[in-house]
Amino acid sequence: MNQYHAIFRENIRDLFNDYTTSLNIPEIDYFAIGIQNTINRESASIMSRLEWQTTFKAFNFAPYDPLRKAALQTNRTIIFMDELDWVDSLGKEVMLQRKRHEIDKGMVVMDRHLTYNYMLTLATHYTQFDGHAFYLKYCAQIRRVFDDMKLILEPVAIDFRTHET
Question: Domain residues of the chain, as ranges?
Answer: 4-157
Mean pLDDT of the chain: 92
pLDDT for residue 159: 80
Q: What pTM, to 2 d.p., does this model score? A: 0.93
pLDDT for residue 162: 63
Q: Is the pLDDT of residue 106 over 90?
A: yes
Q: Is the pLDDT of residue 161 over 90?
A: no
Span of 69-73, 100-104, 125-129, 133-137 with lowest mean pLDDT: 69-73
What is the rounded CA–CA span in Å between residue 25 and residue 8? 24
CATH class assigned to 4-157: alpha beta
What is the rounded CA–CA span in Å between residue 19 and residue 34? 15
